[in-house]
Structure 1
Amino acid sequence: MVEGETEEGYLEWEPGTARDGKEVRIAAHTIVPRAIGGRGVAAALVERLVEDAGRQDFLIRPDCSYVAAKFSENPDWAALKA
């Protein structure tokens, strides 16, 4: 959430087929309303998903083009990519 705003962004994911014994979450869509766009909300959502994957030991399949782009920009996330 952006301070002073009522709208929120969100990242939709759905369960995928397990890989190498690990749960897979398919990152399907990153949605950020225009009112809060351009403030790093989408990036923060992806970073949170990656942090959760590291803590909870699951993999991410980046079907969302934004999530895929963030994985390309962050090669250190490669071990978390399904």
Structure 2
Amino acid sequence: MEYELIDNKEAKQYELIVGGKKPRIEYIAVKDKIYLTHTEVPRELEGKGIASKIVLMVLQDIKSRNLTLIPMCPFVAMYIKRHPEWRELVLKGINIV
């Protein structure tokens, strides 16, 4: 299945359209930093890897835009802990445990 990531700047969230549903990651962007604050996947899509997919796509976008990440969302922090290759994006001094 192919996914398209949408950066809905007006709503301050990244979105995927999956089967008419809209999983999202909410954020706060300040200069060259981005705070990922909340990940939400509609109940109908839970357990299908959608949350991990949207986190991966958002991290790829953050890297391509050369932003510094502050992961406030527990799911995003857990994803980075499991995939340490993404720690390079995280603001120095923030420990992910």
- The structure showing larger relative contact order (alpha-carbon pairs under 8 Å, at least 6 residues apart) is 1
| Aligned counterpart for 1:45 among listed residues 54, 74, 86 | 54
| Aligned counterpart for 1:25 among listed residues 15, 34, 48 | 34
User: What secondary structure, in the 3-state scheme, does the structure 2 residue paired with 1:7 have?
Assistant: coil
Q: Which residue of the partner structure matches residue 4 of structure 2?
A: none
Identify, as 1 or 2, the structure richer in strand: 2
Please give the alpha-carbon distance, in whole angstroms, between the structure 2 residues aligned to 1:15 and 1:54: 14
Please give the alpha-carbon distance, in whole angstroms, between the structure 2 residues aligned to 1:8 and 1:39: 14
- 1:59, distance to aligned residue in structure 2 (A): 1.4
Q: Which residue of the partner structure matches residue 69 of structure 1?
A: 78
User: What secondary structure, in the 3-state scheme, does the structure 1 residue paired with 2:47 have?
Assistant: coil
Unmatched segments (≥5 aa) in structure 2: 1-16, 92-97
Q: CA RMSD in A?
A: 1.2
Q: TM-score, normalised on structure 1? A: 0.83
| Aligned counterpart for 1:60 among listed residues 54, 65, 69 | 69
Identity fraction in percent: 25
